[in-house]
Amino acid sequence: MAISKRNNITVICEGDTEYNYLTGLKKHINSTLNIVPTNANGGDYSKVLRKLKQTSAIGTVARFVLVDFDRYITIVNEDKNFQALLNYCKNEQKKGNPTFLIASNPNFDIFVLKHNIKYKNQDKLTFLKGNYKYKTIEAFKHDPKIFEKFNPNSNEYLEVAANVNQNELIVLNKYDFDFNKYTFKKMSIVFKKENVTYKLSNIMDLFKLL
């Protein structure tokens, strides 16, 4: 089935890991909706927000923003920048522009590593060296085949994303979606900073559309 622009879901990725992963994902799914990853090329939440503002909501089904939450905790003023990003997404929803936030805690790397059942929160680089022959974290992040390597059965991503307690998520997007009309209603975003101790991602909010 041909995919038109009105079937597109724009996904603004904080950095290379998310961008490479989703670029690989779109090659392995059969959906009437087409994800279009856009790389914000790292940096703070304000840079991601600028990228979002540059991305038109017209002609797309929705816009999703993928960020790591560790910056909120570890970097001065990033809490304010995160709140600005969150508020912008909420305001866009009020305007009728479906815009959603995905926050991976502490980062998207951990979500990927959890695809392997042998990963039990041990040192990231040691695990990557021993199981995937990556010599550096950067090699892992920049690998264009990252999706294929961590999804040998092509569906591990769904198992990991679905295996979360929604009450433990830092961010949760709520919406009703009409798959016949490609329209959203009853959109909202819930932010629970108190869930910072849980290493989870709400990326299932995106995956359940595909």
* pLDDT single digits (tens) 152-164: 998 999 999 999 9
Task: Tell me the pLDDT tens digit for each residue of 29-61.
Answer: 989 999 999 999 987 999 999 999 999 999 899
Tell me the three state secondary structure of residue 149: helix
Which whole number is the average pLDDT over 114-126?
96
pLDDT at 135 over 80: yes
Distances (CA, A) of 170 to 13, 36, 106, 195, 210: 18, 25, 10, 5, 22
What is the 8-class DSSP label of residue 124?
H
Distances (CA, A) of 135 to 29, 78, 154: 30, 30, 24
pLDDT at 105 over 50: yes
pLDDT at 3 over 60: no
| pTM given for the model | 0.95
Which helix (H) or strand (E) segment holds residue 71: the answer is: helix 70-74
pLDDT more than 90, % of the chain: 93
Which whole number is the average pLDDT over 134-142?
97
